[in-house]
């Protein structure tokens, strides 16, 4: 199982546009083979968190090659200030 969170900081005044770009990504990603969890969290300050869980690295690799993921990446350049990927810490 592959599990991690992605923290996405919007550019100033771009949080609504970023949310509009994220929603189709989340909806499509949830339908993928191998997607166990793909949840979106947000706050008013333009910070978004996607929590992902995939059955395998192959499923994650396939996700990152999908049209909706690549399309989001292309849009995100002008909307996103910073991205952090946080792997799950085993305790």
Structural domains of the chain in order of their starting residue, each with its CATH number: 2-87 (3.30.70.100)
10 Å Cβ neighbour count for 22? 20
Contact 72, 21 (CB under 8 A): yes
pLDDT in tens, 6-55: 999 999 999 999 999 999 999 999 999 999 999 999 998 899 999 999 99
Sheet with 47-54, strands from edge to edge, namely 35-42, 47-54, 2-10, 80-87
Q: Does the pTM of the predicted model rise above 0.85?
A: yes
Alpha-carbon span 35 to 64, nearest angstrom: 12
Contact 5, 51 (CB under 8 A): yes
Residue 60 predicted with pLDDT over 90: yes
């Amino acid at each position: 199982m592959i599990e991690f969170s992605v923290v996405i900081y919007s550019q100033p005044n771009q949080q609504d546009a970023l949310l509009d770009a994220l929603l189709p990504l989340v909806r499509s990603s949830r339908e993928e083979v191998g997607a166990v969890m793909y949840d979106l969290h947000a706050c008013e300050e333009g910070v978004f968190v996607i929590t992902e869980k995939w059955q395998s690295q192959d499923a994650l690799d396939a996700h990152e090659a999908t049209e909706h993921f690549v399309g989001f990446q292309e849009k995100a350049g002008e909307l996103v200030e910073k991205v952090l990927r946080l792997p799950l810490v085993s305790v």
